[in-house]
Chain A
């Protein structure tokens, strides 16, 4: 059974309340259509289960298959420097159909980032290393495609709908 390596830390982007009892981690690619399809369902899971679940996202950009996946991951991490990771994460998936080189600045402006800082951070070695280290953690954790989900540190064998179903059943 594949497990999450390394476990979540303060370097991760986590949406959680203190009462959360189930930890979900997604490895995703902003250009991957399956991740785009999973995005609204993850939102629905978060709405349905509220405080019971925590949700974290790690980057797993398939650069050869998706030319904008890596720059998109950099944009999300650069937004995180200004405390707006999730705003950028959502904006990227909401605009997945028109991902292109020139979209990142536009999205950064929409969510109210300091643009100059955003541009600089998007190109920094530190941000690049964050995305690379997320990718490596995915490889080590047995990610075999995107999206891949981990529930309480163990690879979940199924898609987002299976995940939703499993959570519903365990809540009953």
Chain B
């Protein structure tokens, strides 16, 4: 898993069937990457629902959150619509798990992303990363602490 101080690998993933998102697009902003195993499973849903309620806190720190799993864009669309999520879910679908692997958070056994958080600063450097036990929703306090640290710099 990539740690604090590493350069965040760039990526280009579909957020919707016809919209691609690059990490580079957010240059100058802080970015939160939330890798999670799968749409629809109960714990992830709570985790994404929590982040969905926190978008105004993230924007206070000039930060954009992106969810990433190996689910396809169509699955993400249905999930995101059902839970009324207001941030992009990216499909690490083809080649499967490529971005998760680049960040060192791909679970070869289950074929899913691990539950991991990265806070990337406005210069594209990883400022904080955290690997959560798969069954545990890591909450958001770690993310906010990391954003607070960046702000102090």
Which of A59-67, A73-81, A85-93 has 4 or more CB atoms under 8 Å from chain B? A59-67
| A48 interface residue (CB < 8 Å to B) | no
| B10 interface residue (CB < 8 Å to A) | no
| A168 interface residue (CB < 8 Å to B) | no
Q: Evaluate contact between A63 and B53: CB separation under 8 angstroms.
A: yes
Q: Evaluate contact between B144 and A64: CB separation under 8 angstroms.
A: no
Given A64-B84, A65-B83, A139-B144, A145 contacting B52 (CB threshold 8 A): no
| A143 interface residue (CB < 8 Å to B) | yes
| A141 interface residue (CB < 8 Å to B) | yes
A-B contact count (CB 8 A): 46
Chain A residues whose C-beta falls within 8 Å of the C-beta of B49 in the assembled complex: 62, 64-65
Chain A nearest CB from B63 CB (Å) reads 14
- When C-beta atoms are compared, the residue in chain A nearest to B42 turns out to be A145
Q: What per-residue 1/0 map shows which CB atoms of B133-148 lie under 8 Å from chain A?
A: 0001111111010000
Most buried by A among B46, B83, B137, B141: B141
Which residues 103-153 in B have Cβ within 8 Å of A in the complex?
Answer: 136-142, 144
Chain B nearest CB from A65 CB (Å) reads 5
Q: What per-residue 1/0 map shows which CB atoms of A142-154 lie under 8 Å from chain B?
A: 1111000000000
> Which residue of the partner chain, among B52, B86, B138, contacts A144 with CB atoms under 8 Å?
B138
Chain B nearest CB from A8 CB (Å) reads 18
Q: What per-residue 1/0 map shows which CB atoms of B70-88 lie under 8 Å from chain A?
A: 0000000000000111100
Q: Evaluate contact between B50 and A145: CB separation under 8 angstroms.
A: yes
| B11 interface residue (CB < 8 Å to A) | no
| A119 interface residue (CB < 8 Å to B) | no
| B57 interface residue (CB < 8 Å to A) | yes
Chain A residues whose C-beta falls within 8 Å of the C-beta of B54 in the assembled complex: 139
- B: residues with CB less than 8 A from A are 46-47, 49-50, 52-54, 57, 83-86, 136-142, 144
Listed from nearest, the 5 A-B pairs whose CB atoms lie closest are: A144-B139, A144-B137, A142-B141, A142-B139, A145-B46
